[in-house]
Structure 1
Amino acid sequence: MTRRRFFCDSLDLPRETLTLDADVSHHLWRVLRHREGDVVELCDGRGRTARAKIQGHRQGRVEVELLAVNREEPDRVWTVLMVPWARSDRMDLVVRQAVELGASGLWFFEAERSRYALEGSRKDKRLGRYEKIARDALCQSGRAWLPELLGEDSTEEVLGRLGREPPREDEIRILASETEPRESLLALWRRHPHARRIVAAVGPEGGWTDAERLAFHGRGFVPVSLGRPVLRFETACTALLAAVGVLWKQAFSHQS
C-alpha cells in the first residue's frame, strides 16, 4: 500500500517550521521525489499528526511549514503482546504486523525453550531495529501511536512487568496454548466482553514448559486455543492480535 505519512520525532512544540531528519528527508525527497509546495502528512508516534507544506531541501534535510496539527486518541482497548525472541526475519514481521493491528506494547523476552537470546548491546541494537520497523509500519498504516518496546531476559522478568497484583476488573490476560485445558477466544470474550486492558502471550517455537504455564497461571493468564491448525510463531502472533481487534476493539467501538 502507498505510504501516507512521514515520521518526525516531535510535533509537541507550537512552531511554524520543522526540519525533518536525514533518513526521512532522503525518502521524501530522493525516493518519492516530493518537491517544494507539496503537502505531506507527518506523525510523531505519540498521537499527533500534521499536514505540512515542503519549503525546501538544504544540506540533506527537508524543511516544512506546519499547516495544521491534530491529536488522535489512543485505542480505548490497551493491548500488549508478550513475544519470545525469535529469528530476526520472523521478529521483523511480528513487529510490523503488530503495529498495523494496533498493539499498545510489545514485550520481548527469552522463554525457556527460546532458540534465540539477546543480551546487553545486542539486545539494545535489536530493539533499535524494531523501533525503526515500527515507525515505518506506523506511517504505512496511518496509525498515530507507536507501541512500547521492551526487552527482558526471562519469562520471570517479563511477568514482573505486571506486578504481583491480580488482573484488574477490566483486564484479561491471555496465554496462547497448544495443550488442554484451554478455551476459545470467543468463549473468553463472552465472559469478559467489556475488557479494556488485554495482555496476551505467545510461546516460542518449542512451546511453553510446565513451569512457565504455572507461572502464567499464577499471574491470572487464561489458556486459549487459536484453532485446530498448528500455527507458525509469527502467524500465531498476528492471529491473536487480529482476533483481539475483532472481538474486543471493534465490539467496543460499536457499543460506544
Structure 2
Amino acid sequence: MLDNLLNIKKPYFTIVYFLALVIDLWGKLNLEIVPYRYITKSLLMILLIVFYLKNQKLNKERKHYYTLIALFLFWIASIAVINHVNNFRFIFGMLFFILGKAMYCIRFTNNRDFKLARLLPFLTGSFILMVSVFFLIYKGLGVFFIPVLIYFFISLLLSLFAYLRKNDVNAKSYNLVMLSMFFLILSEIIMGIKTYYISLPFQDISVMLFYGIGQFLIVYGILIEKKTIEEELIKIKL
C-alpha cells in the first residue's frame, strides 16, 4: 500500500498531499494551534520528505543530500513560524527558511556559463518586484528590515538558480520548478504585506495554500529531473 501511495507514476500521493493541505487550512481556521496545527503542518513536510526519499534516484550524490537537508530545514521553519507573534520564533523560523532556500540554490547549480543578455530580463523583473514590495512594507518593518531584506534576496536568488536550469534539464522538471517559484514568492509577498502593511482578503488561507503548492511542485519537479544531452556533454568535458 505504501509503495502505491508514494509511487510518482500514480496520482495517489498528490491526492493524499492536497487532502492533508486542505485539512491543515481547515485546522488553521477552526482548531487551536496547540497541538493540532503543529500536527497538520508537520504532516505536510513529513509526506514530502517520505515521498522524496521513496522516489529519488540520486542515492549518495551530493544533490540528494542538499534536497533532503532543505526539506528538513523547511519543516523546522514552518513549525517555528506558526506562532509568528513571538519575535524570537519568527526570526528563528526565517533563518531556517533562508538556510533551506540556500540548500535549494546549491541543489540547482550547474556547469553552464550564462550570458548577461539572458539574465538581464529576469534580473530586471526581480529587481522591480523586490523594490515594489519593499516600497509597500518598509515603514512597518522596523527592526525586521535587514532580516526581511535578506529573506527576499535569497528568495529571488533561488528563483534565479531555478531559472538557470533551462536547457540543462527536461522541460517538465524545469516548468514545474519555475511554477513552484511563482507560488512560493506569491505566498511570501502576501505574508509580507499582511504582516507589515495591510490586511488582505483570504490572507490566512492564501499564504499557506500557495506555500503548500509551491513545496509540492518543487519536490515533484526535482524528482522527475533529467539532464539534457548537452549538459551531460559539458560534464564529460569538465
Q: Report the TM-score when normalising by structure 2.
A: 0.30
Larger Rg: 1
Q: Which has the higher strand share?
A: 1
Q: Which has the higher helix share?
A: 2
Q: Report the TM-score when normalising by structure 1.
A: 0.28
